[in-house]
Structure 1
Amino acid sequence: MDSLLQAQLKLMPEMSILLQKRYRILQMIQLSAGSGRRVIGELLGLSERETRKELDFLRNQGFIEISRDGASITSTGNDLLIELKEVVREWSGRLQLEQSLASYLNIKEVIIVPGNVDTNTNTALLQSKEAAKYLESILSDESIIAVTGGTTIASISNYVHQTDKWKQLLFIAARGGVGKDVRLQANTIASLFANKMNGSYRTLYMPDSLSEEAYSTMKNEPFIKEMMDLYERTNIIIHGIGDALEMAHRRNSSVEEMQRLKEIGAVSEAFGYYFNNQGEAVHRIRTIGVQLKQLENMEHLLAVAGGTKKANALLSYFKQAPAQTVLVTDEGAAQEMMQIIEQNN
């Protein structure tokens, strides 16, 4: 932060709070154009009077337009969001929090968006948008990108730009199908990215969890061997991190299996592996897909997960995560993680 800004904050500390509030309002309007005053106020925890006052200010400055359909951001408002992003990131304390977490987790970078996905859907959209932006910054021609499933990863595909900038991008499913919703499975998500970015995709149409007999048979099939070869050559992987018991439930695990996971202290799940609080893999399912040892050789790992409820799972997984990982998360998870870290140290 430059000396002039530091001096201004000392003289008018309330300036930082006001700037962050107006920035959040603009951000929310950008993400959900057409929202009415009441919805904006509820999402940001503002009174109706305060919301009206701030919207009137932003409209008078030419940053937003208000019609019968609700509020929408102008090109001037979009430019302002870009100009203020780094200032707000520093004033809010997120920059310091990002650096502290990245250092503790021993990973390349942490990117934190404001809010908590557990309580605010717009925070989830911001998280997806930041993940999409980071993905586009690391792509190159002929990249092979593996994607896992789930709502969070599916949402990222909404924010990548429709483009043919990169040549021969290949998106591949990092695992088989988990859960009953086909829209949230890795195969579907790989196709969404490919269609948006003028790339191709390869699917893995099989259950995420296999019996020992099925696993032994399938791993020798030519198309499985081809997928395993693609995993060895993957440059980028985009993945979520799950709560162990929640993921077991999504896999329709039996009561006995759920109890077993509790007994062995499973806290987090990723790539079919279950990890305890020390980051040790205490259980794994038989699955055809990206294997844990393959992550070490991938150039970029983009992990996306947020919410206060995920804090313990994130700390568990990152005890063993590769150092080249970038985590996109939210304030809810980041602050809860730091609180747990401080309590344990």
Structure 2
Amino acid sequence: MDPLLTAQLKLIPEMSDLLQKRYQILQTIQLSKGIGRRVLGEQLGLSERDTRKELDALRLHGLIEVSREGAAITPSGTQVLVDLKDVVREWSGRLTLEQTLLKYLSIKEVIIVPGNVDTNKNAEMLLSQEAAKFLESILHDDKIIAVTGGSTIASISNFVHETTRWKNLMFIAARGGVGKDVSLQANTIASLFSNKMHGSYRTLYMPDSLSEEAYTTMKKEPFIQEMMDLYERTNIIIHGIGDAAEMARRRNSTEAEIDRLKEIGSVSEAFGYYFNDQGEAVHRIRTIGIQLKQLKNIEHLVAVAGGAKKAKALLSYFKQAPKQTVLVTDEGAANEMMKIISQTN
């Protein structure tokens, strides 16, 4: 930490709490793009009086503007968020938490955002925003980016900037369709990313789970051969990590099939593989898509998942995750993971 900030914190210890509170208010206003005082207070658990007081302070310093549409951040406010990001990250304890988890998980990087997506809508948006920033930091021309499905990955496309900065980006579906909601399937999400970043995309319109006969037949089809070649040349994968039982239900598995997954110790799911608490693949579905053995050759793997409920699934998957993986998660998942780790060690 900067020596001056350290000295200030010792002299005025309450400064840390006030700074973090105002930073969180400013961050929420930025994400909401026009938010009323009442809604803001409810989201952050602040009284009406406290909310009014803090909004007046931020407006006085030119960090927000307040109109009938609600509070909106100014360019100066946006710059303050950028300038104070590392300070707030350290004062909040997230930096230490990131370093501790990084050592335990043995991967490339851990990025933790405030909150818990299980209970806080802002945390979900922050998770997506941080994942979008990281994706943009690793992009270059002529890259192939594979995306999986799910609400978290779909939300990331809302936060990438519309740009023509990179040439010849191709977004591809990492697997077939899972569940009935087309908007959350990999094909749709690949097209959303492509539209925002003016790239191209390739889809994989087939069920996520296939019979042995269908799997064998489909692998011979020319368009499947093309997709398999693209998977071999993929540079970046953005993916979620699911709870095993939840993912089985999304695949419309029967209760008997779900019970069987529990019997064999399934805890997490990714890329059509189910893993136990030791990270061992105990079951897999027949699917055309990115295969587990291909992950070790991918330059950048970005795993995005949050919420305390996902902690066991995350610890399960990361027992075997490739070392080049970057995890973007939230405090809810991170703190719960640390609790489980402390109980088992």
Q: Does the alignment reach a TM-score above 0.5? A: yes
In the TM superposition, 1:143-292 aligns within 5 A as 143-292=143-292
Deviations 1:279-327 (A, max 9, x none): 0001000100000000000000000000010000000000000000001
Partner secondary structure for residue 296 of structure 1: helix
Which residue of structure 1 lines up, in the alignment, with residue 40 of structure 2?
A: 40
Residue 207 of structure 2 aligns with an amino acid whose one-letter code is P
Residue 149 of structure 2 aligns with an amino acid whose one-letter code is G
Which residue of structure 1 lines up, in the alignment, with residue 94 of structure 2?
A: 94
Residue 281 of structure 1 aligns with an amino acid whose one-letter code is A
Partner secondary structure for residue 274 of structure 1: strand
Q: 1:223 & 1:73 partners in 2: Cα distance?
A: 47
Which residue of structure 1 lines up, in the alignment, with residue 12 of structure 2?
A: 12
Matched, 1:306 2:294: no
Q: 2:249 & 2:130 partners in 1: Cα distance?
A: 29
Q: 2:24 & 2:255 partners in 1: Cα distance?
A: 44
Residue 316 of structure 1 aligns with an amino acid whose one-letter code is S
Matched, 1:122 2:148: no
Could you list the structure 1 runs, at least 4 aligned residues long, displaced by more than 2 angstroms after superposition: none
Q: 1:249 & 1:77 partners in 2: Cα distance?
A: 43
- Deviation of the 1:181 alpha carbon: 0.8
- Deviation of the 1:198 alpha carbon: 1.0
Q: 1:66 & 1:136 partners in 2: Cα distance?
A: 31
Q: 2:74 & 2:271 partners in 1: Cα distance?
A: 42
- Deviation of the 1:96 alpha carbon: 1.0
Query: Paired residues, what number?
Result: 345
- Deviation of the 1:334 alpha carbon: 0.6
Which residue of structure 2 lines up, in the alignment, with residue 80 of structure 1?
A: 80
Residue 173 of structure 2 aligns with an amino acid whose one-letter code is A
Q: 2:280 & 2:339 partners in 1: Cα distance?
A: 22
Residue 261 of structure 2 aligns with an amino acid whose one-letter code is L
- Deviation of the 1:76 alpha carbon: 1.0
- Deviation of the 1:343 alpha carbon: 1.3
- Deviation of the 1:130 alpha carbon: 0.6
RMSD (Å) for aligned C-alpha atoms = 0.8
- Structure 1: tracts of 5 or more residues without a match: none
Q: 1:277 & 1:302 partners in 2: Cα distance?
A: 21
- Deviation of the 1:216 alpha carbon: 1.1
Partner secondary structure for residue 59 of structure 2: helix
Which residue of structure 2 lines up, in the alignment, with residue 21 of structure 1?
A: 21
- Structure 2: tracts of 5 or more residues without a match: none
Q: 2:201 & 2:65 partners in 1: Cα distance?
A: 40
Residue 13 of structure 2 aligns with an amino acid whose one-letter code is P
Partner secondary structure for residue 21 of structure 2: helix
Which residue of structure 1 lines up, in the alignment, with residue 142 of structure 2?
A: 142
Q: 2:76 & 2:137 partners in 1: Cα distance?
A: 24
- Deviation of the 1:49 alpha carbon: 1.2
Please give the TM-score of this superposition, normalised by the length of structure 2. 0.99
Partner secondary structure for residue 334 of structure 1: helix
Please give the TM-score of this superposition, normalised by the length of structure 1. 0.99
Quote the sequence identity (%).
79
- Deviation of the 1:332 alpha carbon: 0.5
